[in-house]
Chains A and B, each alone.
Chain A
Amino acid sequence: MAFLSLENVSKSYSNGDETTTVLKDLSLTMDRGDMVMIMGPSGSGKTTLINAIGGIERPDQGRIVLDDIEVTSLDQRQLNEYRRNKVGFVFQFYNLIPTLTALENIMLALEGRKKGREEMRNKASDQLELVGLDGKQDRFPQELSAGEQQRVALARAMVKEPDLILADEPTGNLDESTETMVLRIFTKVREELGTTFIVVSHNQRLRDYMDRCYELRKGKLVSI
């Protein structure tokens, strides 16, 4: 049984009379520890796909199963729990909480797990070290550079050791060297924890780090 499987997933938006079909009978299977890249022109549905897998958006049809959990049949509360325990999101625009420090932003991801404060703090601190930000733990997001903010966001996604990390253009705003650093972290995490990655990007340079690469075309994934 595959770790992640999407079976005939379809999603369309209706805007008044117009209906845009974004995903059409899309299928995908991935094994644990796979690192996959999804490309595609703007508006092709990459974000929609990622959101569907991450339990943020519901597809109209089809099944999404992750680690034997049927995501498509979870209710709101279960979806929330699913996001909390199974997946980590990395957004293009980091979405850090401006009133929490770097360390606290990371600790946030551990809320709701039955863990002591000290343990949470240590874990978050380790994670911050992993992304090369030790020493900046008490900075607030607006006191960090874009690349540093993205690394905090990465650390926040990874600290709970999710099975799956969904990254939507994680390097879109970063310079080349920071980008490389981010990808090295991805690779390292995958090696250590066997985390599965789905990375959305336009960036050809990322391909070297990936197992496979797909393009989203007319609502379907085409291997390239």
Chain B
Amino acid sequence: MTLTVRMSLRRLRSRKLSLVLSSFIIAWAMAMLVAGMLSSQVLEVSSTAYLDDLGMPDMFVSLSEGRPIEEVEDALSSSAIDTYDLRLRANGRATIGGAEVAVVLIGTSQPVNGEINRLTLLEGRSFAAAEESVMVAGSKTPMGSLEVTVNGLPLELNIVGKVRSAEFLINELETGSIVPGSGGMSVIYLPLTTLQTVLGQVVNDISMMIDDVQSRQEVEAALFPLPVSSMTYREDHQTSVIIQMGVDKFKVMLPTISIVFIFIGLISIFITMYRLVLSDSRNIGMLMSLGIDRWRIASSYLAIAGVILVLGGTLGVLMAYGFTAMISQMALDMMGQIPFVMPFAPLPFLTGLLVIVTAVITAVLVPVALVLRQSVNDALRYVPRTKVWTFGRATLTLASSLGLRNLFREPKRAAVVLMAIGLSIGAAGSWVLMVDSTQTYFDEQMSAQRWDVRITFNAPLDSDQAINDFSYGPANTTVPFVTLNGVASSDRASVGASVLAASDIEEVRTFELRRGSLDFEGAVLAKKIAEELKVGPGERITLNLGGRTETLLVTGEVNDLQTNAIYTSNASVMALLGEGLCQGVFVVLDDPAHTADYVSVLAGDPMVGGIELKEDVRLSLSNMYEGAISMLYAFFALNLLIALAVAVLATIISTAERDVEFTALASLGLPRSFIWRSLAVEVGTQATISAMLSIPFAFFLAKVFATMMEEAVFYIPIILSIATTVTVVVIGWMFVWPSIIWPIRWFRRLDLVRTLRERSSR
């Protein structure tokens, strides 16, 4: 080891804490970056493995009415289809604890060990006898016997097990929808033959495994003879969409926030190094005067970079693993306890290391270069300068002005430090802002819905008859609708779409128009699907549902939670469902308070499959998305630790250079409280200013996140509410305060004699 390297490493001894803190900040930045990249990989790999394991079908098809098995099998004779599972699906209702609960019944012939739609048993056993059944975890139904009403007929069931299935991984969601229905759906799997005793010898639900993507068109064509009402490919299924949304969120958010932390790490190391090199100025001058060349001197400081990198890199790798495991575990648990699979992925780690190596070396070398630029003479003669800002001389006490002036004694550095702390608090605060804005946004989205009750029928019904049948009592407006899940195509692309067609859509909800007009004679598209299809108003798209197609003119583009939504009029989709038919009605009541009255009449109506109340939907929507977005809340709050670390680092740097002053104060026999008061003013001002600064940073970062999330999910307008502002400022402020512990401890341990002697020897 050369003498110059040894010289710079020895300097580190007295700066151990600064070194550790710098390494910690850098490690954190790296961990965030790596965790962002890695956890999205973990989620993708784990969920794909899990879905494959569960035999997630490549294609889900629903028929608008049941058809005999032979007829369906005939249609499915295409060679492109590997395997299929024919099921019968029906909506039923059960009374549980006095309340009426909607139940989805799925009759299947291959429950646990089939190749497709495998159910994983969580509790109890699979069904064997005719009246036995299993339910999806999260259902409201209890284990044991249950009477379900299907099509007005009673069905006695005995629930003997609890299962998980790929298609109901998140059982708030209906096929094709990422906007939840009311509460958790109660889903019950039972023997196909049992359900057929009530509904007849038919099936209405097909799941398929398909050879490859090329054969999709062949399969779609084969479905032509069947009355298809919904056709969803695996990647458009809500399970896949929700998982993808989670994956994208991590991919976007964590690396973005890691940039902030890399920046903060850079600043911290820069400040520490600058201080160190400046106080080394005379030594450097001495070395230069001895004729040692500048590069040798500079490279000796690289040893410090090396130490930070070894510490930070090691800690960073460990923390990255920790963060990834934590984030992925939480996300996977939320998506239905998907087992965690850690892929072998060196790339994120290499990227992370590369980034911190560059950042640390820059932060170390730039201040060294600044000092080395001086002439030998200037370096030898260097004396630390103190700029003094004077303010409030007449009104402030001595302790306060001492604290304030100390905070700003190097104005540039003070500004940088305040910004860095503000930025760290802001990074944490941006998350609070996101959560708050999301909630507000969802509330607004829900208030865009004007309907009070949504009724889905067991089979298509004539629209006029539906209006007639359901416009009773408190019903003000009754709007028949059709929902279809199919494939939308433009000249350029084709994606899964969720179509809502109603005769008078604007009676039941309002829209936030982005482009074009709200002309529902044509198709109004949600922003994301319009983007994916690369179409705008004036262009044409084709809807495909089981081989039957309908071409629509795009008239508008709207913001929507359901990112693949297409809104149009009943008439436009007649060719797909059948003339004059509807699948359900939206009901607007004269007063939402009459909801219970209205619904009570529906009990026992054999036509009614599902009843959703707007209030329930609102609740489950906010539960689901708030849960998803709040998941990282605690995690992001940890970022406040970085704010503290920066504050401690800054306090250390500025108090360590004031040892002589502390000694002078001590030799005057000043009361401890004087020192504490002045430190409190210094740290308190630092906390207050940086907490205030954090607000613009938080707002800006939240905007950035929102813009980036727009690509992956949907755009959330960022709103700065007073409550959020106060929360961020107060919490940030509190987190900066503990940095006062360090100078207080330091003052207590201060060795008067030694500092006095060191000073005299200078």
Query: A residues near B, CB below 8 A?
Result: 47, 51, 54, 56-57, 79-85, 87, 89, 91-93, 95-101, 104, 107-109, 111-112, 117, 140, 142, 156
User: Are B664 and A84 in touch, CB under 8 angstroms?
Assistant: no
* CA distance in complex: A56, B754 (Å): 10
| B651 smallest CB distance to A (angstroms) | 16
Roughly how many angstroms separate A216 CA and B401 CA in the complex, as a whole number? 43
Given contacts A98-B386, A107-B398, contact A81 B669 (CB under 8 A): yes
With A91-B756, A100-B402, A108-B398 as known contacts, state yes or no: A83 contacts B388, CB within 8 Å.
no
In the assembled complex, which residues on chain B have CB atoms less than 8 Å from the CB atom of A96? 664
* A111 and B401 form a contact (CB under 8 A): no
Minimal Cβ-Cβ distance residue in B for A141:
B386
Contact between B663 and A95, CB atoms less than 8 A apart: yes
A112 in contact with B398 given A92-B760, A98-B388, A99-B406 (CB within 8 Å): no
CB nearest to B399 among chain A residues: A111
Question: In the complex, are the beta carbons of A97 and B753 less than 8 A apart?
Answer: no
Give the interface SS of chain B, mostly helix, strand, loop or mixed.
helix
User: In the complex the two chains form, is B664's CB within 8 Å of A56's CB?
Assistant: no
Instruction: Let me know if B373 is at the binding interface, CB within 8 A.
Output: no
**Residues from chain B with Cβ under 8 Å of A140 in the complex:** 388
Q: What B residues does A95 contact at CB under 8 A? A: 660-661, 663-664, 667, 756, 759
Of the candidates B386, B401, B661, the one whose C-beta lies within 8 Å of that of A142 is B386
Does B674 lie at the interface of the complex (its beta carbon under 8 Å from any beta carbon of A)? yes
Contact of A80 among B385, B388, B660, B666 (CB under 8 A): B666
15 contacts between A and B (CB under 8 A): A47-B760, A51-B753, A51-B756, A56-B667, A56-B753, A82-B669, A83-B666, A83-B668, A95-B661, A100-B401, A112-B669, A112-B670, A112-B673, A142-B385, A156-B668
Shortest CB-to-CB span from B675 to chain A, Å, is 10
State the Cβ distance, B663 to closest chain A Cβ, in Å: 7
> Are B670's CB and A111's CB within 8 A?
yes
Known: A82-B669, A104-B398. A99 touches B405 (CB 8 A): yes
Q: A57-B752, A95-B667, A112-B671 are in contact. List 6 more A-B contacts (CB 8 A).
A: A82-B669, A83-B668, A100-B405, A101-B393, A104-B398, A111-B398
Contact with A along B381-406 (1 / 0, CB 8 A): 00001101010010001110110011
Closest 5 CB pairs of A and B: A83-B669, A84-B669, A95-B664, A99-B405, A112-B671
Give the complex CA separation of A112 and B757 in angstroms.
Answer: 27
Give the A-B pair count, Cβ closer than 8 A: 90
B interface residue numbers (CB < 8 A to A): 385-386, 388, 390, 393, 397-399, 401-402, 405-406, 409, 660-661, 663-674, 752-753, 756-757, 759-760, 762
- Whether the Cβ atoms of A84 and B671 lie closer than 8 Å is yes
By a CB distance below 8 angstroms, the chain A residues around B405 are 99-100
Cα of A89 to Cα of B665 in the assembled complex, Å: 11
Chain A residues lying within 8 Å of B399, measured Cβ to Cβ, are 111
Which one, A81, A93, A97, A109, contacts B402 given CB within 8 A?
Answer: A97
- In the bound complex, how far is the Cα of B673 from the Cα of A140, in angstroms? 24
Contacts of A54 in B (CB 8 A): 667
A75 to B83 alpha-carbon distance, docked (Å):
88
Bound together, the chains give a CA A87 to CA B669 distance in angstroms of 9
How close is A116's CB to chain B, nearest CB, in angstroms? 12
State whether A99 and B388 are in contact (beta carbons under 8 Å apart), knowing that A56-B753, A108-B668, A112-B674 are contacts in the complex.
yes
User: Which residues of chain A have C-beta atoms less than 8 A from B665's C-beta?
Assistant: 97, 108
The interface residues of chain A lying within 8 Å CB-to-CB of B393 are 101
Contact B753 A99, beta carbon cutoff 8 Å? no
Q: Which of B386, B668, B670, B674 has the most CB of A within 10 A?
A: B668
A109 lies within 8 A of B756 (CB)? no
Closest A residue to B753 by beta carbon equals A57
Q: In the complex the two chains form, is A56's CB within 8 Å of B752's CB?
A: yes
Q: Report A200 CB to chain B, min CB distance, Å.
A: 12
Interface centre among A92, A97, A101 (most CB of B within 10 A): A97
* Residues in A whose Cβ lies below 8 Å from that of B409: 98-99
What residues of chain A lie closer than 8 Å to B660, measured between beta carbons?
95
A156 to B667, CA, bound (A): 11
Q: Which residue of A lies closest to B664 (CB)?
A: A95
Q: How far apart are A83's CB and chain B's nearest CB, in angstroms?
A: 3
Is A111 a contact partner of B756 (Cβ separation < 8 A)? Answer: no
Chain B residue at minimal CB-CB distance from A162: B669
Chain A proximity of B757: nearest CB distance (Å): 7
Chain B nearest Cβ from A139, distance in angstroms: 10
Partner pick for B671 among A80, A89, A98, A104, CB 8 A cutoff:
A80
- What residues of chain A lie closer than 8 Å to B386, measured between beta carbons? 98-99, 142
Distance (whole angstroms) from the CB of A4 to the closest CB of chain B: 17
Residues of B within 8 A of A83 (CB): 666-669
Distance from A46 Cβ to chain B, minimum over Cβ atoms (Å): 12
Q: Is the CB of B671 within 8 A of A111?
A: yes
Q: Evaluate contact between A99 and B671: CB separation under 8 angstroms.
A: no
Contact between A80 and B672, CB atoms less than 8 A apart: yes
Complex-state Cα separation, A93 to B757, whole angstroms: 11
Which A residues lie within 8 Å of B759 (CB)? 93, 95
A97 touches B664 (CB 8 A): yes
Q: Within the complex, what minimum Cβ distance (angstroms) separates A218 from chain B?
A: 21
A89/B753 in contact, CB under 8 A: no
Contacts A47-B757, A104-B401, A140-B388 given; indicate if A98 touches B667 (C-beta within 8 A): no
Q: Which residue of A lies closest to B674 (CB)?
A: A111
Taking the nearest CB of chain A, how far is it from the CB of B376, in angstroms? 24
Residues in B neighbouring A87, C-beta threshold 8 A:
669
Please name all residues of chain B whose beta carbon is closer than 8 Å to the beta carbon of A109 when the two chains form the complex: 668
CB distance from B673 to the nearest CB of A (A): 8
Cross-chain contact B671 with A100 (CB below 8 angstroms): no
- Which residue of the partner chain B has the closest CB to A169? B760
Within the complex, the shortest CB–CB distance from A31 to chain B, in Å, comes to 24
Cβ contacts under 8 Å, B398 to chain A: 100, 104, 107-108, 111
Chain A residues with Cβ below 8 Å from B664 are: 95-97
The residue on B at minimum CB distance from A57 is B753
Give the distance in Å from the alpha carbon of A92 to the alpha carbon of B672 in the complex: 25
- State how many angstroms separate the Cβ of A55 from the closest Cβ of chain B: 8
Cα of A97 to Cα of B398 in the assembled complex, Å: 12
**Closest residue on chain B to residue A58 by CB atoms:** B753
Distance of A8 Cα from B668 Cα, bound (Å): 27
Distance between Cα atoms of A140 and B752 in the complex (Å):
24
B369 CB to nearest chain A CB (Å): 27
User: What residues of B have a CB within 8 angstroms of the CB of A51 in the complex?
Assistant: 753, 756
Bound together, the chains give a CA A58 to CA B673 distance in angstroms of 24
Question: Known contacts being A95-B663, A97-B661, A98-B388, is A85 close to B669, with CB within 8 Å?
Answer: yes
- Rounded to whole angstroms, the CA-CA distance of A79 and B668 in the bound complex is 11
Q: For A111, list chain B residues within 8 Å (CB).
A: 398-399, 670-671, 674
Bound-state Cα–Cα, A85 to B668, Å: 9
Neighbouring B residues of A117 by C-beta, 8 Å: 397
Chain B residue, CB-CB nearest to A82: B669
Which residues of A lie under 8 Å from residue B661 when comparing CB positions?
95, 97-98
A79 neighbours in B (Cβ, 8 Å) = 669
Please give, as numbers and ranges, the residues of chain A lying within 8 Å of B762 by CB-CB distance: 93
